[in-house]
């Protein structure tokens, strides 16, 4: 089955493709010549992922997969959470990381987790969703050059390194997105 990934983020598309390879024929918005960047104004990850899936579905007859992810920091009461992409401005990852470090200056409780919700929308409009989570800590400085977003600040407890120090295979094996996708596959 051909599956269109509702994201313009090349890192995300690669991670999703790696997990779903052999199960779906994954295509990107670019490959389908679709330009779509809806406003993510939901209050939950599920609402935002559904907004993305429905917006992209207007441009295609294919099944669509959307994900919405957030970094939730205990000492910040769960922030940035659903505001992760626009924490310090508009999709500026470096500024988002800088703001996070500033807000956590002197904070000893560094516990955090990523949550990811994936929504699969069939061409007939039916949807199915799944969630994944991974726990870790926010470092006081960045480590590693792989990944994207908050990866260089997130020390993954299970891997014993940041996601930016991990290979994509290592990240996918334990990550919020990898787990959400595996949970989705189990539901299918």
Cβ distance to ligand IMP smaller for residue 28 or 84: 84
Question: Which residue's beta carbon is nearest to the bound ligand IMP?
Answer: 149
Identify which of 35, 48, 181, 62 has the alpha carbon closest to the alpha carbon of residue 124: 62
Burial class (CB in 10 A: 0-12, 13-18, 19+), 110: middle
Cβ distance to ligand IMP smaller for residue 64 or 70: 70
The nearest distance, CB 45 to ligand IMP, in angstroms, is 8
Task: Give the largest CA-CA distance in the chain.
Answer: 51
From 25, 67, 68, 135, active-site residue: 68
Using CB under 6 A as the binding rule, the residues of this chain from 59 to 88 that contact ligand IMP are 67-70, 84-85
Instruction: At 36, list the tokens.
Output: 């779509």
Using CB under 6 A as the binding rule, the residues of this chain from 102 to 131 that contact ligand IMP are none
Distance CA 91, CA 85 (A): 5
Q: Is 68 a catalytic residue?
A: yes
Helix, strand, coil percent content, the chain, rounded in steps of 5: 35, 25, 40
Q: Which segment (29-37, 55-63, 124-132, 141-149) binds ligand IMP by CB under 6 A?
A: 141-149
Asked if 52 and 68 count as a contact pair (C-beta separation under 8 A), the reply is yes
Cβ distance to ligand IMP smaller for residue 3 or 96: 96
What are the residue numbers of the active site? 68
User: Which parts of this chain interact with ligand IMP (CB under 6 A)?
Assistant: 9, 40, 67-70, 84-85, 93, 96, 147-151, 163, 177
């Amino acid at each position: 089955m051909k599956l269109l990934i509702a994201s313009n983020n090349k890192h995300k598309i690669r991670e999703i493709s790696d997990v779903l390879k052999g199960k779906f024929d994954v295509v990107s918005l670019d490959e389908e010549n679709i330009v779509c960047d809806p406003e993510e104004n939901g209050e939950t990850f599920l609402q935002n992922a559904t907004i993305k899936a429905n917006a992209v579905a207007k441009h295609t007859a294919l099944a669509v997969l959307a994900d919405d992810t957030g970094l939730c920091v205990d000492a910040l009461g769960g922030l940035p959470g659903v505001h992760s992409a626009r924490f310090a401005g508009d999709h500026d990852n470096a500024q988002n990381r800088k703001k996070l470090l500033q807000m956590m200056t002197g904070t000893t409780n560094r516990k955090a987790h990523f949550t990811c919700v994936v929504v699969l929308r069939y061409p007939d409009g039916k949807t199915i969703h799944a969630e994944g989570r991974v726990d870790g800590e926010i470092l006081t400085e960045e480590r590693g050059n792989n990944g994207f977003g908050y990866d260089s600040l997130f020390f993954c407890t299970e891997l014993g390194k940041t996601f930016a120090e991990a290979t994509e295979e290592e990240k996918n094996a334990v990550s919020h997105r990898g787990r959400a996708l595996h949970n989705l596959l189990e539901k299918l």
